[in-house]
Amino acid sequence: MPRKKKTETPTQTEPVEKRKPGRPKKTEAEKALKKEAPKSDEYEALKEKLFMQNKHAEFSMSVSEITKSNLFCNGYKQFLDNAKTEREAVNEAVRIARTFGYEPFDRKKKYAAGDKIYHVNRGKAVIFASIGTRPLTDGVRIVASHIDAPRIDLKPNPLYEDCDIALFKTHYYGGIKKYQWTTIPLALHGVVVRKDGSTVDIVYGEDEREPKLYISDLLPHLAKDQSSRTLSGGILGEELNIIVGSRPVKNEKLGDKVKLNIMRILNEKYGIVEEDFLSAELEAVPAFKACDIGFDESMIGAYGHDDRVCAYTSLMAQMYGVNNEYTSICVLADKEEIGSVGATGLNSDYIKNFITSLARPYGLDSYDVLENTVCISADVSVAHDPTWASVTEKRNAAQLNRGVCMTKYTGAGGKSGSNDASAEFCGKIRRMLDNAGVVWQTGELGKVDQGGGGTVARYVASMEIDVIDMGIPVLSMHSPYELVAKYDVYMAYKAFLAFVAGGELK
């Protein structure tokens, strides 16, 4: 008997779904996926389209660009050797700028497009400005880096003698691992203002034939007690005493014979007496020169990459960015390593005062200019170190040779003390970098709650300016001899050049 065909009930008005109960209806997304699903050999292209590209700069740079990068880094190494302190960095930067036609700033003058000026702040910070074709009310482009670096400062009353050895008492500057500063050759740089008001510049220990200074450490044979200290207490602040001499004057009866001999030498050489140390800034820095690192010459080892690597790259961008639409300002700041304090640190108003002076002859005040102003806080980033991999989160850490690093936020703990650039500003900067062919990456300062740090970004942002952190990844940051990769140095220069010499940020 044939099966009786089911018929619809005549009362039913809704269409009946022809599917088995229990199987869910396909969503629009599932339908689209099925429609566009690539063949298995197309997934590679899909991956390239959808995933973030993050590769060694070698694969994105042409041969001529690699050559340019090496030449650029030769200039950088020279700058490092000539600029071991903030004062020397100011002098060297001004010397370079003058060859590009920069002239001292005159507050009373009205500057026009094409004018190039510099303004030195107390010998320890400097602003360079190149006036653009657009009016100041369109805003200016600021790149701000710092030229102070961790070091060993002399105390105001430094010289003493103990057991026929003459030493300097010191007070370290910035965040250092104190044990790293012992048993290395040190040079002394700085200024002494004499009682009569005259100033003497001192650079001692940089010439290869010149003697160096030295901080001692304990021999391992007798370091039983020291070895049980924590690493941070391995060398204490008051143990960073610099040995400066050991030969007495020829008078056996006299006390402090070795100290007297040192003071006699200093007096002959620099015309100073002991009391002059009270009005001095003398900094002991590693006596090493910058040099290439690696069999492949791909890296540079030097004292003070943080942050002279950003100072030099931004300075060069300022110099080579000519006929710009926007007025560009390159700031080399002091005191970042101790919180951007003081009249030469960026927590002071000197950028704002400079901009006010530029604007006033046009009947404008600083607010009219700052409203549309944008800034890159150019400072180094931490590079992921495979030997110390546990402190960085690999997906969000910068790596050597992957280009300049854009850092949305710095800070510690819950982003405390960070500028945290807006998504909108990050978007504009991202497009600018891509359009300029810059190899770049992102990176944050270590794992969450592992530590942290800050830059000048927050102080610039306090003027209601959009700021983003950008810089070169560094290994062994704040040590006497830091490490960077050459490609990253060059890419930072390219990035800063795109920022100062580029058009509108969209």
User: Please, are residues 369 and 137 in contact by the beta-carbon 8 Å criterion?
Assistant: yes
- Closer to Mn ion at the Cβ: 150 or 205? 150
- Is 148 one of the binding residues for Mn ion (CB under 5 A)? no
- CB of residue 203 to Mn ion, shortest distance in Å: 23
92 or 306, CB closer to Mn ion? Answer: 306
Kindly state the smallest distance separating residue 202's Cβ from Mn ion, in Å: 24
Q: What's the min distance (Å) between Cβ of 336 and Mn ion? A: 6
Task: Round to whole Å and give the CA distance between 222 and 65.
Answer: 53
Nearer to Mn ion, 161 or 307 (CB): 307
Q: Which stretch binds Mn ion (CB under 5 A): 216-224, 225-233, 300-308, 485-493?
A: 300-308
- Please give the residue whose beta carbon sits closest to Mn ion in the complex: 307
Element (H, E) at 485: strand 482-485
- Which residue's CB is nearer to Mn ion, number 276 or number 482? 482
Q: In this chain, which stretch among 84-92, 230-238, 290-298, 299-307 interacts with Mn ion, using CB under 5 A? A: 299-307
Q: What whole-number distance in Å separates Cα of residue 5 and Cα of residue 102?
A: 96
Q: Which helix (H) or strand (E) holds 162?
A: strand 151-162
Measured from the Cβ of residue 120, the count of other Cβ atoms closer than 10 Å reads 18
Smallest distance, Mn ion to C-beta of residue 31, A: 53
- The minimum distance between CB 307 and Mn ion, in angstroms, equals 4
Q: Which stretch binds Mn ion (CB under 5 A): 22-30, 163-171, 274-282, 303-311?
A: 303-311
Strands (E), 350-407: 374-378, 381-382, 404-407
Tokens 């009947």 -> residue: 363
Selected range binding Mn ion among 89-97, 229-237, 305-313, 436-444, rule: CB under 5 A: 305-313
Q: Which of 306, 385, 466, 469 binds Mn ion (CB under 5 A)?
A: 306
Of 151 and 402, nearer to Mn ion (C-beta) is 151
Give the amino acid at 480.
Answer: P
Nearer to Mn ion, 161 or 306 (CB): 306
| Amino acid making up residue 426 | C
* 482 touches Mn ion by CB under 5 A: no
Judged by beta carbon, residue 117 or residue 310, the one nearer Mn ion is: 310
Q: Determine if 92 is a binding residue for Mn ion (CB under 5 A).
A: no
Q: How many chain residues touch Mn ion (CB under 5 A)?
A: 3
Judged by beta carbon, residue 147 or residue 202, the one nearer Mn ion is: 147
Q: Could you tell me the end-to-end alpha-carbon distance of the chain, in angstroms, rounded to an integer? A: 78
Residues 218-247 binding Mn ion (CB under 5 A) are none
Question: Could you give the 3-state DSSP secondary structure of residue 404?
Answer: strand
- CB of 425 vs Mn ion, minimal distance in Å: 21
Contact flag: residue 307 with Mn ion (CB under 5 A): yes
| DSSP string covering 174-189 | SS--GGGGSSS-EEEE
Closest CA to 266 of 326, 336, 342, 188: 188
CA–CA gap between residue 444 and residue 62 (Å, rounded): 28
CB closer to Mn ion, 283 vs 307: 307
Backbone angles phi, psi at 177, to 5 degrees: -95, 105
Please report, as residue ranges, which positions from 372 to 431 form the binding site for Mn ion (by CB under 5 A). Answer: 379
Residue 481 DSSP one-character state = S
HSE toward the beta carbon, residue 190, CA cutoff 13 A: 19
Question: Is 194 within 8 Å of 320 (Cβ atoms)?
Answer: no
The residues that touch Mn ion, with contacts defined as CB under 5 A, are: 306-307, 379
